[in-house]
């Protein structure tokens, strides 16, 4: 079958029914038999979807991995995450001989850090992981809100660790990186599932454009959290130095402005305020200027502390810029909804 549109004439039967014939190549490829039931779904754009997959979200999509090919823990972990993100609902890991310890450790870590997958069968050479989460039980909007809250709290706590010389709080921020990663992976997975299953997307009330926008926002929020971790790591490097109080106050003020941009992007999204989103993007220039001013004030400090502070300022700036990027996504989404 090519990509050219085939045409069919509409016929009327029985006075009240209208019928069209189905393309034979499609019928044969889909293994459709006489008296089989097909799903028919009207699309928002006026098109009609005809599918043999009436309950498509219930169909198991399986990915198999041979553990012999993954001698490195990180390599196996990445491909397991890849399978998860791409929407595989069943993952099988097997080996030609007894699993090496790192294989089993990796699989267990994978199931603990991701949302949904559980080990349902295992032996010394075979493990089956199944995703037990119904996509409809984790709405995109709710997950994005959690990511906003988590990213903001990580940044705030990293800055609080700087102001209060609190090593334990900085280390706690670094540990929370996994929490936002798992939400980002979930959004990516949900997007992959929705993009290939238009029926499920309509059941969830999500358009394909919505799924793409949520995935982009998720990526930027995950990066904001990464910068919170970078701030925390650099805070640990400068705790032994006595920073001047005016400098810490300047950094804190810049951080507060950066988080204001982040919160404004959330408000613009919640209120569907395109003007607020636009003003937020314009405000990024002020943040950049504030960051550059602090960088100029570092000349009199110790070299190592100046480098660490420079990285902190860079992360604060990037946080605000990502908030601006999110605001751009919001503008695009609101323009699309206005059609």
Q: In the beta sheet, which residues pair with residue 66?
A: 94
The CA-atom distances, in angstroms, between 40 and each of 50, 202, 204, 281, 286 are: 5, 13, 17, 43, 53
**Superfamily per CATH, domain 136-337:** Phosphate transport system protein phou homolog 2; domain 2 (1.20.58.220)
User: 11-54 has which CATH code?
Assistant: 2.10.260
* Helix ranges restricted to H, the chain: 24-29, 73-85, 101-113, 140-164, 167-175, 177-196, 198-203, 208-238, 245-271, 274-296, 303-337
Q: What is the pLDDT of residues 147-164, one digit of tens each?
A: 999 999 999 999 999 999
State how far the Cα of 103 lies from the Cα of 99, in Å rounded to an integer. Answer: 6
The CATH 2.10.260 portion of the chain extends over: 11-54
Instruction: Pick the closest to residue 257 from 220, 296, 290 (CA basis).
Output: 290
118: confidence class by pLDDT, cuts 50, 70, 90: very high
Other Cβ atoms less than 10 A from the Cβ of 110: the count is: 21
The CATH 1.20.58.220 portion of the chain extends over: 136-337
Half-sphere exposure of 80 (CA within 13 A, CB side): 35
**Whether the model pTM is above 0.85:** no
Q: What is the pLDDT of residues 187-237, one digit of tens each?
A: 999 998 888 777 777 777 788 888 899 999 999 999 999 999 999 999 999
Residue matched to tokens 């798992």: 182
Q: At what angle do helices 208-238 and 303-337 cross, to 10 degrees?
A: 170
User: 58-135 has which CATH code?
Assistant: 3.30.110
The CA-atom distances, in angstroms, between 276 and each of 257, 327, 335 are: 15, 9, 14
**Residue 16 scores a pLDDT above 90:** no
45: confidence class by pLDDT, cuts 50, 70, 90: low
The CATH 3.30.110 portion of the chain extends over: 58-135
**Residue 136 scores a pLDDT above 70:** yes
């Amino acid at each position: 079958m090519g990509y050219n549109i085939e045409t069919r004439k509409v016929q009327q039967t029985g006075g009240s029914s209208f019928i069209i014939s189905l393309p034979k190549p499609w019928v044969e490829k889909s293994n459709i038999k006489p008296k089989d039931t097909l799903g028919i779904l009207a699309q928002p754009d006026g098109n009609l979807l005809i599918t043999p997959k009436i309950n498509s979200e219930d169909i198991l999509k399986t990915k198999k991995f041979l553990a012999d090919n993954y001698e490195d823990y990180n390599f196996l972990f990445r491909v397991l995450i890849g399978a998860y993100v791409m929407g595989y609902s069943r993952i099988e890991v097997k080996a030609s001989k007894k699993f090496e310890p790192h294989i089993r450790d990796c699989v267990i870590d994978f199931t603990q850090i991701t949302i949904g997958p559980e080990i349902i069968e295992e032996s010394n050479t075979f493990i089956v992981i199944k995703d037990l989460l119904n996509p409809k039980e984790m709405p995109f909007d709710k997950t994005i809100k959690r990511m906003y809250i988590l990213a903001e709290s990580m940044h705030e706590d990293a800055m609080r660790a700087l102001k209060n010389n609190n090593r334990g709080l900085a280390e706690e921020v670094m540990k929370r990186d996994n929490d936002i990663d798992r939400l980002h992976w979930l959004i990516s997975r949900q997007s992959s599932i929705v993009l290939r299953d238009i029926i499920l997307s309509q059941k969830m009330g999500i358009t394909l454009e919505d799924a793409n926008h949520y995935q982009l926002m998720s990526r930027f929020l995950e990066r904001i959290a990464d910068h919170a971790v970078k701030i925390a790591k650099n805070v640990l490097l400068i705790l032994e130095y006595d920073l001047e109080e005016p400098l810490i106050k300047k950094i804190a003020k810049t951080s507060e402005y950066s988080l204001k941009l982040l919160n404004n992007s959330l408000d613009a999204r919640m209120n569907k305020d395109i003007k607020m989103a636009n003003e937020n993007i314009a405000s990024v220039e002020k943040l950049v200027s504030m960051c550059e001013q602090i960088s100029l004030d570092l000349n009199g400090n110790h070299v190592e502390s100046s480098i660490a502070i420079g990285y902190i300022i860079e992360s604060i700036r990037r946080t605000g810029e990502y908030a601006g990027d999110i605001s751009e996504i919001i503008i695009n989404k609101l323009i699309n909804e206005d059609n």
